[in-house]
């Protein structure tokens, strides 16, 4: 019989960069005999960090998916990058995982990256265990690391194990769940079991009781039995522990030396025995608020959580089967674009190595190649099943960089490469801003940008250089004015003639029609760059033919696209055309368009023009020590502080900051707090630019225009 949903385990490894997730994955795969040799970071030979860029940087950059068999289970292991810049990979992996293993570096305890992933554990309610790694290191401190974890993450953090001899020569793990001591050979691997030495027995017993109580708390019958008998069988315990894990009432702590392959096998055993299967988790949430049961007998529905293109292979799609059983050759419909995708090949993966398989049951992860038109966050389902899995909510970009365009041919290649990265990485956005005449990249941090630069260079051999991105200012007016403009040209043959009279005024929602004009026609447009444009045709008595209204409107819009003050987009304007003149022979669309442009421009300058700038709401989390420096720096950025609060072990500052003042803020914050602060930002509103700055920007634009003449 094939694999069943109840035997699947989806485990994601999370934690601060350098804690040892990739090495631990390697040790787990080796213990499960999935690989025959343990690779190392230094020799660039791990299963997980298989891309060139990861080998070079010696950090994980992408999540990677591995699997191993352990007793009855297929355990899928997702190794994620710990660097905050690649948080998108963490979030997408957590979407499909049913259990998380949070790896702590035993030499440095709880780190900023640990706090970050903890937020997601709480948000997604993912059952989790901890692994204190690197206990072979001379600076390892198990007790301190455990205390920090308890302090930060609460009393449900309970050790299942402790080291008998931490530091150099570490090879003995006391297991308080099984009440045995594992003693490892020098190169790790399979330990021998010994009785717990007398000097550790008391501590082991104490922890054991704690674990038993935890399990018994989940189930009253267990509690009674525990009080009657004073102990519970391992099978009875395992059920209680599983419930405690699922309900986040227990975060058990394991210990390892991933590098020396000590302790990884025991964790695999725990995952097999105790960790929930996909069917043990709550049903999947759908976009419409309904839910979907994880049932291999149901209709087939698959959710793509990651895509990545590989050289010579093309697009590789990683998915989770949320319901039903996907078989080779199945046709599924993409719910978003109605493309029918044939799954001609199915694989299970270990990093870059793929093994073909015939079917994938609900709850399991799989891979397919060459899907035509399906991307991350798409649901593809059996005909008739019209559902969409709630998508992964990726964080908003936090930094922007503009590209210095290389030559034209190179720019084309560069854009192709960037768009490909954009398709795979939903925390990255490429914006070709026509008004600013810049290509602007939006990402998560400087390192994220550097990696994208590196990827482009690797793929296309083009060096991509960054420059400061311009700010998308907006222009508007503060009062109304009216006037006219006559465009007249008499050069030899046919002349040009058009005269328009218009009133321009600030537009706001619910603005009443002008009482002194007769409105013949009213258009209200949503401008592509945001804001509104209202165009009123108030010509009576046929002073201008109605046929010219289109050309006049177009002329105004052209000036609105490239505003009179600084060439920025103009927003929230009402234009009323109330009079004019035309000529039977010389009038044309062109003549009226030009007249409208100049008329609008002149009136705009007389209507109290105002430059607006984008303001972002920035939320900063920082340890107390860095607070003073961060606040001092904010004062130099025209920030308005909206609030300050303490949140757990952090201070939280919320401020409104103009985008113009946020260039490379991520780097500043990093250096102000030694990398221990983080921030998010989201667009808030457009607000008037201070007068002196407005004048400066206008002068700058004038000078630039002169130069271009």
Closest separation in Å from C-beta 10 to Mg ion: 18
Structure tokens at 518: 């007769």
The Cα–Cα gap between 120 and 138 comes to 32
Closest separation in Å from C-beta 78 to Mg ion: 11
559 binds ligand GTP (CB under 6 A): no
The Cα–Cα gap between 17 and 12 comes to 15
**Binding-residue pattern over the window 60 to 99 for Mg ion, x denoting contact by CB under 5 A:** x---------------------------------------
18 binds ligand GTP (CB under 6 A): yes
21 binds ligand GTP (CB under 6 A): yes
Closest separation in Å from C-beta 376 to ligand GTP: 21
> Which CB, 78 or 659, lies closer to ligand GTP?
78
The Cα–Cα gap between 374 and 495 comes to 56
17 binds ligand GTP (CB under 6 A): yes
Closest separation in Å from C-beta 105 to ligand GTP: 8
The one among 133, 325, 496, 673 contacting ligand GTP by CB under 6 A: 133
The Cα–Cα gap between 303 and 589 comes to 53
Show the CA angle centred on residue 531, arms to residues 691 and 700, nearest 5°: 35
Task: Calculate helix-pair angle for 220-229, 198-217, nearest 10 degrees.
Answer: 140
41 binds ligand GTP (CB under 6 A): yes
Q: Where are the alpha helices (DSSP H) in 364-496?
A: 408-424, 446-460
Choices 17-25, 290-298, 387-395, 442-450 (CB under 6 A): range interacting with ligand GTP: 17-25
Q: Which residues contact 604 (CB under 8 A, 6 or more apart)?
A: 475, 477, 504, 559, 563, 564, 565, 570
Interface size with ligand GTP, residues (CB under 6 A): 22
> Which CB, 112 or 615, lies closer to ligand GTP?
112
51 binds Mg ion (CB under 5 A): no
Phi, psi of 447 (to 5 degrees): -65, -40
Length in residues, the chain: 709
22 binds Mg ion (CB under 5 A): yes
- Contact call for residues 678 and 621 (beta carbons, < 8 A): yes
131 binds ligand GTP (CB under 6 A): no
Interface size with Mg ion, residues (CB under 5 A): 3
SS3 content of the chain, % helix, strand, coil (to 5): 30, 30, 35
Handedness of CA 352, 354, 360, 364 (dihedral sign): negative
Binding to Mg ion, residues 360-419 (CB under 5 A)? none
Choices 22-30, 198-206, 349-357, 388-396 (CB under 5 A): range interacting with Mg ion: 22-30
**472 Cα distance to chain centroid:** 23
Closest residue to ligand GTP, judged by C-beta, is 82
DSSP state of 669: H
The Cα–Cα gap between 302 and 381 comes to 6
100 binds ligand GTP (CB under 6 A): no
| CA dihedral of 46, 49, 54, 55, whole degrees rounded to 10 | 20
The one among 7, 10, 22, 114 contacting ligand GTP by CB under 6 A: 22
- Contact call for residues 613 and 638 (beta carbons, < 8 A): no
From ligand GTP, Mg ion, none, which one binds at residue 19 (CB under 5 to 8 Å depending on kind)? ligand GTP
State the Rg of the chain over Cα: 32
Binding to ligand GTP, residues 171-190 (CB under 6 A)? none
Closest separation in Å from C-beta 19 to Mg ion: 9
> Which CB, 114 or 334, lies closer to ligand GTP?
114
The Cα–Cα gap between 468 and 441 comes to 11
Closest separation in Å from C-beta 154 to ligand GTP: 23
Binding to ligand GTP, residues 232-261 (CB under 6 A)? 257-259
- Contact call for residues 328 and 359 (beta carbons, < 8 A): yes
Closest separation in Å from C-beta 339 to Mg ion: 34
Choices 20-28, 258-266, 524-532, 573-581 (CB under 5 A): range interacting with Mg ion: 20-28
20 binds ligand GTP (CB under 6 A): yes
> Which CB, 23 or 149, lies closer to ligand GTP?
23
Collapse the DSSP code of 643 into the 3-class scheme (helix H, G, I; strand E, B; otherwise coil) and give the result. Answer: strand
Binding to ligand GTP, residues 57-86 (CB under 6 A)? 59-60, 81-83
**41 Cα distance to chain centroid:** 26
Burial, 207: exposed, middle or buried (Cβ in 10 Å; 0-12, 13-18, 19+)? buried
Closest separation in Å from C-beta 388 to Mg ion: 32
Show the CA angle centred on residue 532, arms to residues 528 and 535, nearest 5°: 110
> Which CB, 86 or 485, lies closer to Mg ion?
86
- Residues near ligand GTP (CB under 6 A) are 15, 17-23, 40-41, 59-60, 81-83, 133-134, 136-137, 257-259
- Residues near Mg ion (CB under 5 A) are 21-22, 60
């Amino acid at each position: 019989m094939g694999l069943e949903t109840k035997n699947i385990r989806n485990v994601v490894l999370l934690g601060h960069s350098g804690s040892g997730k990739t090495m631990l994955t390697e040790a787990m795969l080796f213990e499960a005999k999935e690989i025959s040799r343990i690779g190392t970071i230094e020799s660039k030979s791990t299963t997980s960090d298989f891309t060139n860029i990861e080998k070079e940087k010696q950090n994980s950059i992408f999540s990677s998916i591995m699997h191993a068999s352990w007793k009855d289970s297929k355990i899928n292991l997702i190794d994620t990058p710990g660097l905050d810049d690649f948080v998108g990979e963490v979030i997408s992996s957590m979407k499909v995982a049913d259990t998380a293993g949070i790896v702590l570096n035993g030499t440095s305890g709880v780190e900023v990256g640990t706090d970050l992933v903890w937020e997601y554990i709480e948000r997604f309610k993912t059952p989790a265990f901890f692994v204190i790694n690197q206990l072979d290191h001379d600076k390892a401190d198990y007790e301190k690391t455990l205390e920090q974890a308890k302090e930060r993450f609460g009393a449900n953090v309970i050790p299942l194990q402790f080291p008998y001899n931490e530091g150099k020569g570490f090879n003995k793990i006391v297991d308080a769940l099984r009440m045995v001591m594992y003693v490892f050979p020098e190169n790790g691997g399979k330990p021998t079991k010994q009785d717990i030495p007398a000097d550790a027995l008391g501590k082991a017993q104490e922890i054991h009781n704690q674990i038993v109580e935890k399990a018994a708390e989940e189930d009253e019958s267990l509690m009674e039995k525990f009080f009657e008998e004073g102990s519970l069988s391992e099978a009875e315990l395992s059920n209680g522990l599983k419930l405690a894990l699922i309900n986040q009432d227990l975060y058990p702590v394991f210990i390892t030396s991933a590098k020396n392959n000590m302790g990884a096998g025991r964790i695999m055993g725990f995952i097999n025995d105790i960790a929930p299967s996909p069917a043990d988790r709550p049903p999947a949430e759908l976009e419409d608020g309904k839910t979907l049961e994880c049932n291999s007998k149901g209709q087939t529905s698959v959710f793509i959580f990651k895509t990545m293109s590989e050289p010579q292979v093309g697009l590789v799609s990683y998915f989770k089967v949320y319901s039903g059983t996907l078989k080779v050759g199945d046709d599924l419909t993409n719910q978003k674009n109605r493309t029918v995708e044939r799954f001609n090949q199915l694989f299970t993966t270990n990093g870059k190595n793929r093994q073909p398989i015939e079917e994938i049951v609900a709850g399991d992860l799989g891979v397919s190649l060459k899907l035509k038109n399906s991307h991350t966050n798409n649901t593809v389902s059996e005909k008739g099943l019209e559902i969409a899995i709630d998508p992964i909510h990726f964080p908003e970009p936090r930094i922007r960089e503009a590209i210095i365009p290389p030559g034209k041919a190179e720019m084309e290649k560069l854009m192709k490469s960037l768009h490909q990265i954009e398709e795979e990485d939903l925390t990255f956005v490429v914006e070709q801003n026509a008004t600013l005449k810049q290509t602007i990249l939006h990402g998560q941090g400087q390192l994220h940008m550097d990696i994208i630069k590196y990827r482009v260079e690797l793929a296309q051999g083009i060096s991509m250089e960054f420059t400061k991105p311009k700010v998308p200012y907006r222009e508007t007016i503060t009062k109304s004015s009216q006037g006219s403009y006559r465009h007249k040209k008499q050069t030899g043959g046919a002349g040009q003639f058009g005269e328009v009279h218009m009133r321009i005024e600030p537009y706001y929602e619910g603005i009443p029609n002008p009482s002194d004009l007769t409105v013949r026609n009213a258009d209200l447009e949503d401008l592509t760059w945001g804001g509104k444009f209202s165009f009123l045709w108030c010509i009576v008595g046929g002073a201008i033919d109605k046929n010219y209204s289109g050309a006049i409107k177009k002329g105004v819009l052209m000036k609105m696209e490239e505003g009179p003050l600084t060439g920025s987009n103009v927003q929230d304007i009402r234009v009323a055309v109330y009079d004019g003149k035309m000529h039977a022979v010389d009038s044309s669309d062109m003549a009226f368009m030009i007249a409208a442009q100049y008329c609008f421009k002149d009136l705009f300058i007389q209507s109290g023009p105002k430059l607006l700038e984008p303001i972002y709401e920035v939320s900063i989390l920082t340890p107390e020590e860095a607070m003073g420096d961060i606040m001092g720096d904010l004062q130099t950025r025209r920030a308005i502080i909206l609030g300050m609060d303490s949140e757990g072990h952090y201070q939280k500052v919320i401020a409104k900051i103009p985008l113009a003042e946020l260039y490379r803020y991520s780097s500043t914050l990093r250096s102000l707090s030694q990398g221990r602060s983080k921030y998010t930002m989201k667009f808030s509103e457009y607000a008037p630019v201070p007068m002196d700055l407005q004048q400066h920007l206008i002068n700058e634009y004038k000078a630039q225009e002169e130069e271009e003449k």
